[in-house]
Structure 1
Amino acid sequence: MQLVVFCGIQATGKSTFYQRQFFHSHVRISMDLLRTRHRERRMLELCLETKMRCVIDNTNPTRAERAAYIEPARAAGFEVVGYFFQSIAAEALVRNQQRPPERQVPDRGIKGTRNRLEPPSRAEGFDRLYFVRIGADQEFTVTDWQDEI
């Protein structure tokens, strides 16, 4: 039983990373797909009740937003793993412009999320935490997260 929580601004590769790493093993819970918090909450509840591995594929920029997933998952006995995606706004803005128009996020949305972004820490309830970078070749590099001391 595992809950994976992605964290990072828009256009940093979270959904592509999900497709490459978790598509065949974890249910994807995403506001892009579900559109409402009610549907998202129900999907999370279903995954926790049925012991289904899942990924929260949202920006999750703040500790409070991540806690809404971490706390119920810990209570259900799930391992909680976090992936923080390198969030450089200038790079995300360029990648965003390369998306099809219907998938583009307004620039102010990316900048606003970046302004609210709080780095995660193991103290939030993560069993494991990783840092993800996306290279110019669109390949991902994953390293262990180093909490600030």
Structure 2
Amino acid sequence: MRDQIHPGKFRFGVVPPAGPEPGVSRADPGAIFDELDKVPLRAGGTMALDRFPLAQDTEEIIQLCGVDGCVTMTNDESRVACRLSWDAKALPSLLLWISNRGRTYNPWNGRNLCQGGEPVASTFELGCRPSLAANPINAREVPTAISLDPDQPVEIAYRFEVMTQ
């Protein structure tokens, strides 16, 4: 089985300051990149995070910033594509969660292969304080928070589609 992620256009990608699984995550903490198939590694070189499963066991989170508001995941075997589109003015980044047999403890036992995409206005999954403070994402003019006003509701449109190829 081969899956591929097509993230649409983005201005830059960034690796969080610490991986989701210490000692297992391979991406270079804090690295900035321009292509999903060339994410810098801690040990040097790059890793392609656009096709799954990966050859190496790992757990990764990366953030694509300044996105166009569309991501498509395709499965070569089933010939099914899932597309998520959203209002990128409200949620200008896409967090990609990648689990590729990197968690060897229960209940995963080194068998979990999954990927997820989460539209966000945040600094990784680090919460409110880092997202409201100066950080490497908003320093590059990509908002990491949404202003809320109880008198002006915020609506974020999104669409999820499943298609056969």
**Does the pair score TM above 0.5?**
no
- TM-score bin, normalised by smaller chain: 0.3 to 0.5
Structure with greater helix share of residues? 1
TM-score normalised to structure 2 length: 0.32
Which of the pair has the greater relative contact order for Cα pairs under 8 Å at 6+ separation? 1
- Higher Cα Rg, which structure: 2
TM-score normalised to structure 1 length: 0.34
Structure with greater strand share of residues? 2
